[in-house]
Amino acid sequence: MAKKFIFSSCSYLVLYKFEKSETSLVEKVAKQEGFRLFYADNPTELAECVEKIQYPIDYYIHAKNGEIARILSEENLLKKFGLHYEILSDFTDESLKPMMENSLKRLMPEGIPSLISTTVNFVFPRVFTDAESVKFKETHEAAHKADFAILGSSASNDWVGQCFIYLQFDALRKTVPAFANRTEIQIIDGFRELANQIIGVVNFNLSGIGISAGSTLPIGFDLRNGAQKPRNTIYTQLVRLDGADGAIRIEFGPLLSGKGTKTNQIELDRIRFSEPGEVEML
């Protein structure tokens, strides 16, 4: 009797005809980055992955002993659904590392970093009218300390976008005069509204390329006393922006699911910021 699998709403890297003993480094990276591996052994299991995994990172196919000609049906299946895949004949565990790095980078649509940066710098002075001097610049520094985090989400059937805002209260008060006398509650409420507005502008721009996304109410997390930062089960590459000398960190993680259309992927690569109200929708 064929095995049946229940997949969680997580990100998976699918390894077809691989042995776990061959991929110890891949296992380590997956654990660090927060996505899962699935080892498919036959065409039926691969087809089940294609049907049920909503957020695939990539598909790696091991064509053992020069069997590339024998995996034509597997290739056609992945091509049919527009899924990216790599075929490997000879490899080492170490040689998979740069391939994995490319697979992860591919998850960031080319147009998103500019869209998010422009959106944040457009929205911030409209929410905090007395802090117009604060500007946000992209950073590649992952580590960031924070007292409080706010999470807002944009989602549709084939798209997920999450906006994380991290705050350092004392540093924010010292760096930006407008926040010097505000209570934590006042600061948090203001940044909840910022998250809400960022998601709203992103959704407006998504609607221009045919993605109709909704939003969730932003929620907060107190990170003091050892609490962990919020983490999504869906792996995304992050656009990271710092403002107020690092007292404010804004991160945005976008992902078009494996069920998304190629048209949406192409349009996300090309998407450009449009100010709400600037474009007439016909």
Six token digits for residue 144: 């960031």
Six token digits for residue 67: 């069997």
Q: Report CA torsion sign: 76, 83, 268, 206.
A: positive
- Domains of the chain listed by start with CATH number: 11-105 (3.40.50.2300), 112-270 (3.40.1550.10)
Six token digits for residue 220: 């907060």
Per-residue confidence in pLDDT tens, the chain, 282 aa: 557 788 988 899 999 999 898 899 899 989 888 899 999 999 999 999 999 998 899 999 998 766 666 788 888 999 888 889 999 887 888 888 889 889 999 889 999 999 999 999 999 999 999 999 999 999 988 867 899 999 999 998 878 899 999 999 999 999 999 999 999 999 999 999 999 999 999 999 999 998 999 999 999 999 998 777 777 778 889 999 999 999 999 999 998 776 666 667 888 999 999 998 754 433
**Total count of residues recorded for the chain:** 282
Alpha-carbon distance of 236 to 11, in angstroms, equals 9
**What is the residue-wise DSSP string for the chain?**
--------SSEEEEEET--GGG-HHHHHHHHHHT-EEEEE-SHHHHHHHHHH-SEEEEEEEE-GGG-GGGGHHHHHHHHHTT--EEEESS--TTTHHHHHHHHHHTTS-TTHHHHHHHHHHHHHHHH-TT-TT---EE--------SEEEEEEEEETTEEEEEEEEE-HHHHHHH-GGGTT--HHHHHHHHHHHHHHHHHHHHHHHHTTT---EE---EEEE--TTPPPP--SS----EEEEEGGGTEEEEEEEEE-TTS-HHHHHHHHH-----TTTS---
User: What single-letter amino acid sits at 115?
Assistant: L
pLDDT at 123: 97
pLDDT at 259: 60
Six token digits for residue 237: 């590459």
Closest CA to 83 of 111, 113, 106, 108: 106
